[in-house]
Chain A
């Protein structure tokens, strides 16, 4: 492979997707593979779908959480999917929708943030990152029309404003900044309600993590496509916090203890 070296006029700058286009690789082609099939045909392909993810702000950062279940129709196709992933040091993405294209989009997004940071010598602003992700979601629109919808949540710690911020997206790339919390996926009605009821502006990290864990419990309880904590296999939701020190994922022992407390509370009601 020759080194990518460009004349000033057609230099793609620090944009990795543009670099892919410039060397003849189409970043959208990985998402737009649906090629004229109907929604029914796509559903019968049995493409795994990912479900419930939430994010909420707390005093000093954001919590992101997602269950681990992927479904194809009425079947559970995967029990340990990671829908909440780190994007870079101070941000993360949670995905709901067709799992394959969503994972590919996240991979490209992670690389774009790192590529920009290395080429420019400084990382994008948090808002710049949200805009970049919105461009990628919009690029997926043709595939979304075929049923391969990808609607991520983006959250992170804004180092300039010194606060946690979060966004959700629609299939056209529409980008909406939420004030306090957001939920997406099939169990979002239940998860969102739990957070809405339990939320307050002065939650600390610990309380926010508990609220996120509780919201996923209730979503799993009422929505068949959302997986609950699986103590038998030792699979717990992915829960992570992002603050000034960066991304930190909670370990399974911690989550096991939190869910044991939730289960006890539920048993007593």
Chain B
């Protein structure tokens, strides 16, 4: 009979966290930052079709880094949760905070109970009716939630990017400048990201009911130029 051998819970959690962190660090980074009229999200993404940033609900956007199939599962679950809640109660009752809590519960459960943690970090952003209501929630692979006020960076090298944002971000940027600041923060001083590798989106108060919009094509080119 084989002896079941003992692994300390601390060691088990540490191994899982290391595994998840390694997976996430391999991926490209993504930033979100407040601008005058909402929140801009900028990602480094070589794919034209496999999106990292997408719409969840009227005022809420989702962004994920790490393993694509895993954060895409989370994205779909978020759309479903939001649509169900809005249908059962009212569109006004759908908010980023409760969505972020649900994500935290889910990721926390998977981290502690499943064999393999999810190799993802996600960001849930909500644009408020005025700039004071803008919110961003950064959720880690183990269910830790951090709420950010002005800007957030997730994915590989996020710490360095966040420091660069701290230097360059200012209040009340316009959308084009916000995208520029975002790209510069992701790229760093000694690298240039080609325009085809940029995925950008806005959550704008000016877009009507569905605030989410992609910034691409000529609009993106103009913003970068």
Residues of chain B within 8 A (CB-CB) of A16 are 83, 87
Q: How many inter-chain contacts with C-beta < 8 Å in the A-B complex?
A: 50
Assembled-state Cα–Cα distance A115/B55 (Å):
10
- In the complex, which of the residues B54, B84, B87 contacts A118, with contact meaning CB atoms closer than 8 Å? B54
Assembled-state Cα–Cα distance A118/B84 (Å):
13
A102-139 CB mask vs B (1 if < 8 Å, else 0) is: 00000110010011001101000000000000000000
- Stretch from B71-79, B135-143, B172-180 forming part of the interface with A: B71-79
Q: Which residues of A1-38 have CB atoms within 8 Å of chain B's CB atoms?
A: 1-5, 16, 19-20, 23, 25
- Interface size on A, as a range, is 10 to 19
How distant is A5 from chain B, measured CB to nearest CB, in Å? Answer: 5
B45-60 CB mask vs A (1 if < 8 Å, else 0) is: 0000001001110000
B14 at interface, CB cutoff 8 A: no
Residues of chain A within 8 A (CB-CB) of B85 are 1
A118, B55: Cβ atoms under 8 Å?
yes
Assuming A23-B84, A111-B87, is B54 touching A121 (CB within 8 A)? yes
Assembled-state Cα–Cα distance A5/B85 (Å):
15
Total B residues in contact with A, Cβ cutoff 8 Å: 22
A25, B88: Cβ atoms under 8 Å?
yes
Instruction: Taking A3-B80, A20-B87 as given, write out 6 further A-B residue pairs in contact, using a Cβ cutoff of 8 Å, ordered by the A residue number.
Output: A2-B102, A3-B81, A19-B84, A25-B88, A118-B83, A121-B51
* Between-chain CB contacts (< 8 Å), 17 pairs: A1-B85, A1-B102, A3-B77, A3-B80, A3-B103, A3-B105, A3-B106, A4-B77, A4-B81, A5-B77, A19-B80, A20-B84, A20-B87, A107-B87, A115-B83, A118-B55, A119-B80
